[in-house]
Amino acid sequence: MITFFNDGHSAHAPEFEFFRGERVPCFETPARAEFVKDRLAARGHGLRTPHIDSASVLARVHAPRYLRFLENAWFDWIALKAGNDQRQPFPSVWPVRSLRSDLEPVNFIARLGLYSMDNGSPLSAGTWAAAKAGADAAASAAAWVAAATGGTRASFCCSRPPGHHAGADFMGGYCFLNNAAVAAQALRDAGAARVAILDVDYHHGNGTQSIFYQRADVLFVSLHGDPQTEYPFFLGHADETGADDGEGFNLNLPLPAGCTALRWFEALEQACLRIRRFDGDALVVSLGLDTFAGDPISTFSLQSGDFSRLGERLGALGLPTVFVLEGGYAAAALGANAVNVIESFEGV
Ligand code: Q9C
Ligand code: ZN
């Protein structure tokens, strides 16, 4: 499978985040993408350099004022105070409920709060560059699949930071630009009338769901830890079925924390049945691998061999498919787990 690798990923390298009352090293590290790259190379899979500028499709999935903020955020931060280039900004106030989010404050930390869903998405000097290059990789992976003449093609967007928690106008959960939404919208723009998105990350893809919630041309299906106990907590429930034209085109399959691989594969089967019934022209897979038993921040128990089973099941859908790397924090196992999915998808 052709992999579009975001060579610019390492420009995003914040040092720490907050976790259970402590300041800890970031879970979402540059090493993650390098482990996947190494495994791809070891298994003889070629890497391509992304060749498409995602600017126009980004403008279709994200709000202009959010894109402007993100592009300038580090510059604005370091301009505030000498030494800020050695510090990470974190939001501390958010426009919840009765507070206004239509106005953009002047204060930088206030603007950071306006455009964040949590304090768990640290910025670094190269965050915009890395995230934009990742969106370019997603658009390139979509273009490759859309250009297929005979048979079905698949591609893998291997990039970080991940994207599925990023909404139209906010960052969150280590995500800044929604790469899966970029891939789905790029497929639509290239002529696919209907696109399905399957999100198998441990965490609900709240950003992707919200971007397409009112649309019937993009189906969103997700299996994930129940938001009653798992991040992102405030979206991902089974009763979220879509709105307006999109009613019936959103399917959440929340699973109890700690559930077995058997239960997970039952939910995958339900997801696949819905995708088959949708009868779309293409599939985007938000490939989070934090369902792995060894993941440090998640509670499911998939083994490396289970990722081969996942790839096989998705291959049986017979759709042109774009895989987009999302979470997965057992970094040393990430390469084998990701490559198991994409190889099994192709019947290797
Ligand atoms: N700083 C993805 O898997 N944060 N994101 C937990 C708080 C939430 C995970 C620790 C985890 C987000 C793409
Ligand atoms: Zn995740």
Ligand nearest to the Cα of 325, by number:
1
CA of 174 from ligand 2 middle (Å) equals 9
pLDDT for 213 equals 99
Per-residue pLDDT band for 333 (boundaries 50, 70, 90) equals very high
Ligand closest to Cα of 27 equals 1
- Quote the tokens at residue 232: 């992102």
Place of tokens 């768990």: 120
Catalytic member of 62, 164, 165, 224: 165
Closest ligand to the CA of 232? 1
Q: What's the confidence (pLDDT) of residue 152?
A: 75
* Nearest residue (CA) to ligand 1, atom 10: 19
End-to-end CA distance of the chain: 10
Instruction: Using the mean position of ligand 1's atoms as its centre, give its distance from the Cα of residue 120 in Å.
Output: 7
Q: For residue 338, how far is its CA from the centre of ligand 1 (angstroms)?
A: 19
Find the length of the chain. 348
Q: Which ligand 1 atom is at minimum distance from the Cα of 203?
A: 3
Report, as an integer, the average pLDDT of 33-42. Answer: 98
Q: What is the pLDDT of residues 121-158, one digit of tens each?
A: 999 999 999 999 999 999 999 999 999 877 779 999 99
Give pLDDT tens digits for 202-241: 999 999 999 999 999 999 999 999 999 999 999 999 999 9
Specify the ligand 1 atom closest to the Cα of 173.
12
Which residue's structure tokens are 């790029």? 186
Dist. CA 101–CA 89, nearest whole Å: 20
Q: Report how far ligand 2's centroid is from the alpha carbon of 57 (Å).
A: 24
The mean of the pLDDT values for the chain is: 98
pTM of structure: 0.99
**DSSP bridge partners of 198:** 221, 285
Peptide bond into 161 cis (omega under 30): yes
What is the per-residue DSSP string for 6-57? Answer: -TTGGG----EEEETTEEEE-SS-HHHHHHHHHHHHHTT--EE------HHH
Alpha-carbon gap, residue 129 to 72, rounded angstroms: 11
**Whose CA is closest to atom 2 on ligand 1?**
327
Q: What is the pLDDT of residues 267-321, one digit of tens each?
A: 999 999 999 999 999 999 999 999 999 999 999 999 999 999 999 999 999 999 9
C-alpha 170, offset from chain centre = 13
User: Whole-angstrom Cα distance, residue 232 to residue 51?
Assistant: 33
Concerning whether 165 is annotated as a catalytic residue, the answer is yes
Tell me: the pLDDT tens digits for 47-59?
A: 999 999 999 999 9
| Ligand 1 first shell, C-beta below 6 A | 17-19, 120, 162, 164-165, 173-175, 201, 203, 231, 288, 290, 297, 326-327
* Ligand 1 nearest atom to the CA of residue 326, by list position: 13
Closest CA to 156 of 314, 302, 317: 314
